[in-house]
Structure 1
Amino acid sequence: MSKTLIVPGLDGSPAPHWQDWWARTDPEAMLVDLPDPRRPVREAWEAALAVMILRHPNSILVGHSLGAVLIAQMLTHWTGLRVRGAVLVAPADPQASTGDCHRIRRFGRLPDRPLDVPAVLVASRNDPWMSFDRSQILAEDLGADLIDMGHAGHINVASGFGPWPGGKVIRDRLMDQTARPSILRRLLGQTPAARRPGA
C-alpha cells in the first residue's frame, strides 16, 4: 500500500488537529516534519518534503493550508518526483490580505498550471485564507477535482475539525481510482499521470 505523507501548514498541526489524528491512527501515514513551522521558508520546506518523497516513492500527499500550497508548488516545479496523487485541503493564498499572510507571503504566487499527478482540492465557502471563488480557479488551474465542504471555515481545529474520517475517505477514493485506469484511457494511450479522480 502507498504511504500517505501528511504535510502540515503554518504553525504545524498539533493535536487535536485532524492531521495529527490521521498520523496517529493510520499505520500507513506519517506527518512530515517541516523545519520551523512558525517561520516558514519555502526552500527549506521543499527540501524536507522532497526527502520524504524520495524515501517513500508513489506516496499520496495530503496537505493542509500552506502545506497544500507547498505540495502544489513542488509538483509544478520539481520534475521527476514519484508521487501517486495529492489531496490539497484548504490552501492558504500567500498573496491574500487577511490572516497572518505576512508570514507566508514569501511562498510567492499560487501555481497556475496543471499538476502531473491526480489531485483533489478540498475547499470551504467561508475560509478566511482563500475565497471559494479563488479555490475554484486554483482547482481548474491545477487540473484538480474540487470538493465543496460548504461553510467549514479553514477546515482546522478552530472550525471544528479534530478527527476527520472524511479526509481518509477522499484519500482512499483517490488511491482506488489511480490504481485502476479505465479501459478508455488505455485505449487512448494516456499515461497514469493524466488520471484525475471523480468528484
Structure 2
Amino acid sequence: MKISETDILLIPGYGRTLPGHWLLRWRDKMASARVVSQAELHRPGRQAWLDTLVKEVDAAGKPVVLVAHSLGCILVARGAHVLKDKIRGAYLVAPSDWDRDGLVPEFDGGDFKPIPRDPLPFPAHLVASRNDPYCDFERAQDFAKAWGTTFQDAGEAGHINLESGHGPWPEGMMSFAHFMKRLG
C-alpha cells in the first residue's frame, strides 16, 4: 500500500512531543500524515483520548494507518475493538508499560491500565528497544505476542524518542515503508 493512498494518523504518547521528534518529522515528510492532538498530555484520560482518536479516524477520507508511540500504543490496543473496521494497520513504537508501578512519578497510568492483551483486529507491527526505560524488552515482546503483531528488535535505542537520539530515525522510516508494503 502506498503512503499517499492512506491517511496516516500519528499518535504521540504521554507528555509533550518535542520539536525534532521523529513523529513530527514524519508528519512533515508525508503529505497524508497528521498528528492526533490530545488534551491533557500530562493527565491523560483513556476515554477522552479514545474519543479524539475516533473523531480523527472518522474524519479520514482514505484508509487509515496508525503510527503510535509510547502511551499511544496502549491507546491503540485499548481502542482496537472500536476502530477495527476503519483501520488498515498499526505501526507501534516503544510501548510504555503502565502496569509497572512508578513508571512516571507524576502519573500512575490512570485508566489506561491494565494494559489490554486482546489480539488486534488489524495487521500491526511493534518496534521495541532492548534498553527502553519505560518498558522492559521482554514485556514488549509479550505485548507483541498477545496483540498478534510482528515484532522488531531495535537494539539499544532507549525509548526511541528525541532524548535517546531519535530525531530523524531513518531506520524507522525504512521499517515503516516495509510495513506499508506488507499491507498491500
Fold shared, TM-score > 0.5 on shorter chain: yes
Higher RCO, Cα 8 Å, sep 6+: 2
Count of residues in correspondence between the two structures:
178
Query: Structure 2: how far apart are the matches of 1:3 and 1:78?
Result: 18
Query: Structure 1: how far apart are the matches of 2:168 and 2:83?
Result: 33
Query: Structure 2: how far apart are the matches of 1:171 and 1:79?
Result: 20
Q: 1:141 aligns with which of 146, 156, 162?
A: 146
In the other structure, the counterpart of 2:78 is 73
2:120 matches 1:118: no
* CA deviation after TM superposition for structure 1 residue 61, in Å: 0.3
* CA deviation after TM superposition for structure 1 residue 173, in Å: 1.7
Question: How much identity, in percent, do the aligned residues show?
Answer: 37
In the other structure, the counterpart of 2:68 is 63
In the other structure, the counterpart of 1:170 is 175
CA-based RMSD of the aligned residues comes to: 1.5
Q: 2:137 aligns with which of 132, 138, 141?
A: 132
In the other structure, the counterpart of 1:4 is 8
Query: Structure 2: how far apart are the matches of 1:50 and 1:80?
Result: 11
Query: Structure 2: how far apart are the matches of 1:142 and 1:102?
Result: 28
Q: TM-score, normalised by structure 2?
A: 0.91
Partner SS, residue 183 of structure 2:
helix
Q: Is 1:129–1:154's contact at 8 Å kept on the other side of the alignment?
A: yes
* CA deviation after TM superposition for structure 1 residue 164, in Å: 1.6
Q: Is 1:9–1:67's contact at 8 Å kept on the other side of the alignment?
A: yes
Larger radius of gyration: 1
In the other structure, the counterpart of 2:100 is 96
Q: Which runs of 5+ in 2 are unaligned?
A: none
Q: Which runs of 5+ in 1 are unaligned?
A: 180-199
